[in-house]
Copies of this chain bind each other. A is one copy, B any other.
Amino acid sequence: MEFTHFDGRGRARMVDVSGKGDTVRTAVARGYVFMKPETLSMIKEGRIKKGDVLAVAQVAGIMAAKKTPEIIPMCHNITLAGVDMDFRIIDDRNAVAVEARVKCTGKTGVEMEALTAVSAACLTIYDMCKAVDRDMVIKNIQLIEKSGGTSGDFRREEEVPWEK
């Protein structure tokens, strides 16, 4: 098995996908931001007051999905067909769960777009709350599933438990 991002001499390259077909591809990624209980409460209250940390994180995630090829050097620049972000408050763990679903019709998968969207949303949550909680930790950013493409579908067998 070879890293496809390296050519014969070991140099980085953007892999040639011109021989691949245009198929519908999807990817789902998840991640978590752990924080103090007070911070989570403030996010929840903020949402009620419409000073919505998660509304900003949602926009950040969607915009970051489009910016993926500028952030990840060997990633192909592709046109995305759709991006969906979802947030869940996990009260008993003092965490916010972040999920991104990305879709495209193209020659390469959208795993990196989904993972980048989750990362950007988590970073945005950190940024907006850091004045009250610098100890927050971003955890377990992972690909949950992907479909489409010649490498076949992927479904993570066991999600890395968010409590870890």
Interface residues of chain A, those whose CB is within 8 Å of chain B, are: 1-7, 9-18, 24, 31, 42, 46-47, 49-53, 55-56, 58-60, 62-67, 69-86, 103-107, 111-112, 115-116, 119-120, 122-124, 126-132, 134-143, 146, 151, 154, 156, 160, 164
Contact = CB atoms under 8 A, between A and B. Distances in A.
A56 B134 contact: no
B46 A6 contact: yes
A55 B156 contact: no
Q: Which of A131, A132, A156 has the most CB of B within 10 A?
A: A131
Contacts of A17: 81-82
Copies of the chain in the assembly: 6
A67 B52 CA distance: 23
The 3 nearest A-B residue pairs measured at CB: A10-B51, A16-B82, A6-B51
Contact of A3 (B16, B82, B105, B129): B129
Nearest to A26: B18
B119 A123 contact: yes
Contacts of A58: 11-12
B76 A79 contact: yes
B42 A56 contact: no
A12 B55 contact: yes
Nearest to A133: B1
A137 B137 contact: no
B70 A3 contact: no
A93 B96 CA distance: 26
A126 B79 CA distance: 21
A63 B52 contact: no
